[in-house]
Amino acid sequence: MGDQQHVVKIPTIDDLEAKFKLNGSRVLVRVDFNSPIDPKTGRILDDSRIKAHVETIKELYEKRCMIVLMSHQGRPGEDDFVSLENHAKVLEKHLGLPVEFIDDVIGPAARKRISELKPGEILLLDNTRLVSEEVIEAVPEKQANTIFVRRLAPLFNFYINDAFAAAHRSQPSLVGFPLVLPSAAGRLMEREVKALAKLVSPEERPRIFVLGGGKVRDTLRIIEHLHMQRAADRILVTGLVAELFLLAKGLNIGTENKRFLERRGLISLLPRARYILLKGAPIETPVDFVTLKGNEVSVEHVGSITGLIRDIGPATIEMYSELMKDAKVIVLRGPAGVIEDPRFRKGSIALVEAALSTNAFTIIGGGHLTSILNEVRIPEGARYHVSTGGGALLLFLAGEELPALKALELSAKKFLGW
Ligand code: 3PG
């Protein structure tokens, strides 16, 4: 959507088949099963990202491939950094086929099981981020030489990347394999890239971005990029990002909330947030919040907040809804509140409903926000696209080259003669 939107041409499963025989082959598939997890029970709160990969996996199953799936879940040190055992069960339910899970990624147990697989068998490896190399970002050439890639690649004929939502990460499981194995985009990746590339023409203004969620560092990077590319006419912030920008404006968000940001190491981002404001990025911040003090839920206005911020308040919902009214394109990413608790979903639901009630084309992205869609009233005739991507979606729309797509292009040059 940035005015410098690049043309993306990535190899698909059809391109791979035109040159090689996929039937009965050993295929390593990078999916993005990263889902919201209940921090108390470890339960997967929304399985739409898992479901979204069914088409690709079924197609490979029908070709009698030996299918090995890998995904990350959360980040080391965070509550949602868990094993993929439950994800295998959820996938099995959606696929209607047996899915085996192994609590290993690149070790001897995983490699032995992979080499013994029979046609049509599906194996899910454990969380890729259990391997320390996976959390380091580097160019594809470097990632192709990691232990991660060198251990697994010899066991496969092909690599398929279906993880659009992780395409902005330059990690071994996403960019290393395409350089050593003939590779292609899976059906979900293909669909997302095609849909987004043609969705929005640069003339369609105003474009409004509603950005929330917990990934504050990433969101700042995205805002910088959107502003640099002049891709956003307004950026309405919610969640922790909003708290940071309020502080950057010199407003009081209450001691508890400031301490919360401190504990998460986010106060160090204040100078960056101030610089973004100074550069004139069109940021709008909330005027009130729903807060929690003990068990008491209240609405408090910015400047006199004493409770812990949990959601945006009614005046903010009204103001943001008003601002969205004349938009041509609205992109929403990340929840406005702590949606894991039903008491704090209202802001996120209201903003999605407000966007869908406008005449704009709405793009809703990110695993967390899409998890509340079943609670949203979708007006008849609403024009929208639900993307599995959050950060990847926004960077793609801002015209940034996504490393995983670039790696697929490099692979096509090397193995498909593009
Ligand atoms: C996402 O949820 O945006 C993707 O799964 C990528 O996750 P990450 O931001 O932890 O890399």
- Return the CATH number at 360: 3.40.50.1260
Q: How far is the CA of 166 from the centre of ligand 1 (A)?
A: 6
**What distance in Å separates the CA atoms of residue 193 and residue 153, rounded to the nearest whole number?**
26
- Give the residue, 101 or 228, on which the prediction is more confident: 101
- 65 lies in the same domain as 172: yes
- 139 lies in the same domain as 164: yes
Instruction: Please give the pLDDT value at position 224.
Output: 95
Instruction: Please give the pLDDT value at position 2.
Output: 46
- 374 lies in the same domain as 407: no
Residue matched to tokens 């809804």? 321
Q: How far is the CA of 414 from the centre of ligand 1 (A)?
A: 28
Is position 104 within any domain?
Answer: yes
- 350 lies in the same domain as 231: yes
Burial 378-393, CB ≥16 within 10 A → b, else e: eeeebebbebbbbbbb
- 169 lies in the same domain as 244: no
Is position 4 within any domain?
Answer: no
- 156 lies in the same domain as 220: no
pLDDT tens figures, 173-192: 999 999 999 999 999 999 99
User: In 10 A of CB 107, how many CB atoms?
Assistant: 15
Is position 5 within any domain?
Answer: no
- 133 lies in the same domain as 222: no
Q: How far is the CA of 325 from the centre of ligand 1 (A)?
A: 30
Given strand 66-70, what is the order of strands in its sheet? 100-101, 122-124, 66-70, 26-30, 158-161, 183-185
Is position 7 within any domain?
Answer: no
Average pLDDT of the segment spanning 295-322 = 97
Residues at CB less than 6 angstroms from ligand 1 = 32, 34, 75, 165-166, 169, 215, 218, 367, 390-391
- 185 lies in the same domain as 233: no
In ligand 1, the atom with minimum distance to the C-alpha of 72 is 5
Q: How far is the CA of 24 from the centre of ligand 1 (A)?
A: 32
User: In 10 A of CB 61, how many CB atoms?
Assistant: 17
Q: Which residues pair with 301 in a beta bridge?
A: 288
Which has the closest alpha carbon to 172: 132, 129, 143? 143
- 166 lies in the same domain as 255: no
Is position 307 within any domain?
Answer: yes
Average pLDDT of the segment spanning 28-57 = 94
Average pLDDT of the segment spanning 35-46 = 90
Average pLDDT of the segment spanning 331-352 = 95
Asked if the model's pLDDT at residue 4 lies above 60, the reply is no
pLDDT tens figures, 364-414: 998 788 788 989 999 999 999 899 999 999 888 877 899 999 999 999 999
**What distance in Å separates the CA atoms of residue 126 and residue 115, rounded to the nearest whole number?**
16
Q: Which residues pair with 364 in a beta bridge?
A: 332, 386
Is position 86 within any domain?
Answer: yes
- Ligand 1 pocket test: pick from 168, 169, 369, 397 the residue with the most ligand atoms within 8 Å of its Cβ: 169
pLDDT tens figures, 206-222: 999 999 998 999 999 99
Average pLDDT of the segment spanning 24-50 = 94
Cβ neighbours of residue 195 under 8 Å, at least 6 residues apart? 385, 387
Asked if the model's pLDDT at residue 162 lies above 90, the reply is yes
- Ligand 1 pocket test: pick from 72, 128, 397 the residue with the most ligand atoms within 8 Å of its Cβ: 72
**How would residue 198 be classed by pLDDT, with cut points 50, 70 and 90?**
low
Q: What domain count does the chain have?
A: 2
Say which amino acid occupies 49.
Answer: R
- 226 lies in the same domain as 340: yes
**What distance in Å separates the CA atoms of residue 241 and residue 215, rounded to the nearest whole number?**
8
- 174 lies in the same domain as 229: no
Instruction: Please give the pLDDT value at position 398.
Output: 79
**Cα 118 to the center of its chain, rounded Å:** 32
Average pLDDT of the segment spanning 38-44 = 89
For residue 33, what are the CA distances in angstroms to 52, 346, 388? 9, 26, 10
Asked if the model's pLDDT at residue 1 lies above 60, the reply is no
pLDDT tens figures, 242-287: 999 999 999 999 999 999 999 999 999 999 999 999 999 999 999 9
Is position 411 within any domain?
Answer: yes
Q: How far is the CA of 383 from the centre of ligand 1 (A)?
A: 26
Q: Which residues pair with 210 in a beta bridge?
A: 236, 332
- 208 lies in the same domain as 296: yes
Instruction: Please give the pLDDT value at position 366.
Output: 80
Is position 97 within any domain?
Answer: yes
Mean pLDDT score of the chain: 94
Instruction: Please give the pLDDT value at position 229.
Output: 86
Average pLDDT of the segment spanning 354-370 = 90
pTM value surpassing 0.85: yes
Domain that holds residue 165: 13-189+401-415
- Peptide linkage before 206 cis (omega within 30 of 0): yes
